[in-house]
Amino acid sequence: MKTPVVVLISGTGTNMAALVYAAKHPDCPYEIVLVASNNPDAPGLILASAEGIATFAHPHTGLKRAEFDAILDAEIRKSGAQYVALAGYMRLLSPEFIANWRDRIVNIHPSLLPAHKGLHTHEAVLAAGERVTGCTVHVVTEALDDGPVLGQTEVAVIDGDTPETLAARVLIAEHQLYSRCLAGFVAAATGPEALIAQVRARAVALPEADEVTSHGMPCWGIIKGKKFAYVSNDHHGDGKVALLVKISGVEEQATLIENDPDRYYRPPYFGDGWVGIRLDLGDNDWDHIGEWLARSWRAVAPPRLTKLMSIADEF
């Protein structure tokens, strides 16, 4: 399944269009599920609608920054988007919004950051007599045009360039760069290794838990004791990444599968005491996964350990 992404625009939206068209390729790991704008007249909204993508536009005038961003946040959550891509979004985001989407907002900027942050980058490049400029895709943090760089493309300045001719050429480079960087970023955060790392962090935090490899799968158990979790990664070519945990038995297994057949499944070879929980659907609730792991741990932990946990729970 492709990772759902929202694109925020304020204007023409050619970078948004580049992201949309790149996402049409079957091997692209993201899809654009919403294009949102603070400018109801943004031309990019028409293109997005024509491509069958949901759009949302709300003028920011008269609203405090945090108020407007709360409206945006609610709309993005409704869309199911997991990542936010800024594409010519000409409004600063509130610290609350950035905190809510930490490490899940990316931006494109028309300069080789950290050079020329803010507006009028092409004028600044020409005024400084620089021979090379370019564009940068980066993760958004509270500081303007800052945050870890995901990729850059250099663009040569040509004698006689004006800010307009330079902007037009840098824009071509932007269109090539953005989708590659977004695809790489999303794949790194949602690929099997990243999912296993999320499970690992929670599994090894449980008392006396350690990791081994079992049947080629990363597996967590009580030291010298029983196993309580596995991650199945394309096991026998089934194409799934899933967490396998202990459950009470066949009835619970059937109920889970019936209520959410896309997420839960009966793991082959494991029997009725286990359930498979898909981790590759792009919407993981990691606190909930942590609860599944703790419960599975309890099911196999010796009494001397579960007693300690029960005492700890009372405080």
Q: What residues are labeled active site?
A: 109
| Residue 106 and residue 150 in contact, taking contact as beta carbons nearer than 8 Å | yes
Q: Is 72 in the site for ligand GAR (CB under 6 A)?
A: no
Candidates 198, 262, 194, 263; CA nearest to 229 is: 198
Nearer to ligand GAR, 109 or 202 (CB): 109
Least separation, in Å, of the C-beta of 135 and ligand GAR? Answer: 6
Can you tell me the distance from the alpha carbon of 60 to that of 67, in angstroms, rounded to the nearest whole number? 9
- Residue the block writes with tokens 């949602």: 190
Nearer to ligand GAR, 115 or 217 (CB): 115
Classified as helix, coil or strand, 208 is coil
Can you tell me the distance from the alpha carbon of 22 to that of 31, in angstroms, rounded to the nearest whole number? 9
Q: Are strands 3-9 and 83-86 parallel, antiparallel or unpaired?
A: parallel
Main-chain phi, psi angles of 156, to 5 degrees: -75, 140
Nearer to ligand GAR, 122 or 235 (CB): 122
Q: Is 108 in the site for ligand GAR (CB under 6 A)?
A: yes
Nearer to ligand GAR, 15 or 79 (CB): 15
Q: Is 122 in the site for ligand GAR (CB under 6 A)?
A: no
Name 56's bridge partners: 36
Q: Is 45 in the site for ligand GAR (CB under 6 A)?
A: no
Q: Is 12 in the site for ligand GAR (CB under 6 A)?
A: yes
Stretch that binds ligand GAR, among 11-19, 54-62, 93-101, 230-238 (CB under 6 A): 11-19
What number of H helices and E strands is found in the chain? 10, 13
Q: Is 88 in the site for ligand GAR (CB under 6 A)?
A: yes
Residue 88 burial (10 A CB sphere; 0-12, 13-18, 19+): buried
Stretch that binds ligand GAR, among 13-21, 49-57, 124-132, 268-276 (CB under 6 A): 13-21
Q: Is 94 in the site for ligand GAR (CB under 6 A)?
A: no
Among 15, 37, 55, 253, binds ligand GAR (CB under 6 A): 15
The residue ranges that bind ligand GAR (CB under 6 A) are 9, 11-15, 87-88, 108-110, 171, 174
